[in-house]
């Protein structure tokens, strides 16, 4: 599991937990001040997106987690990458880690999203 994926999991977990502890209707409500932690996690994600600085990233690297290439939602660009001009209809490159059909499907979805 990559550092990027672990950070997403941790952020999602902490947001859900702090909401459960901070919303009065929750069966495990403790205090509304737990909502401040939700805001803290959101602000940290926001600043990390702009600055690239993320304290948990440093900690996870020291714990031995491998760095990813920034791919999100399971699409790992190192396994299947789009060459220059792929939006013009050229065939994507792929490695043996995935079949060409997987790469083609992922790249076609990405091209469709980018072209709107």
pTM above 0.75, yes or no: no
Q: What is the pLDDT of residues 51-101, one digit of tens each?
A: 999 999 999 999 999 998 765 555 444 444 444 554 445 444 444 454 445
3-state secondary structure of 60: helix
φ/ψ region of 49 (left if φ > 0, alpha if ψ in -120 to 50, else beta) reads alpha
Please choose, from the candidates 54, 59, 27, the residue with its C-alpha nearest in 3D space to the C-alpha of residue 41: 54
**Pure H helices in 23-96:** 34-51, 55-62
Q: What is the pLDDT of residues 1-40, one digit of tens each?
A: 999 999 999 999 999 999 999 999 999 999 999 999 999 9
């Amino acid at each position: 599991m990559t550092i990027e994926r672990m950070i997403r999991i941790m952020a999602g977990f902490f947001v859900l937990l702090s909401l459960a502890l901070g919303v009065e209707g929750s069966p495990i409500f403790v205090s509304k001040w737990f909502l401040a932690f939700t805001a803290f996690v959101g602000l940290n994600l926001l600043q990390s997106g702009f600055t690239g600085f993320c304290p948990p990233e440093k900690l996870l690297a020291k714990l031995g987690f491998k760095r990813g290439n920034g791919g999100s939602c399971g699409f790992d660009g190192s396994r299947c990458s789009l060459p220059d001009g792929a939006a013009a209809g050229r065939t994507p490159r792929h490695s043996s880690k995935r079949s060409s059909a997987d790469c083609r499907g992922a790249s076609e979805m990405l091209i469709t999203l980018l072209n709107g």
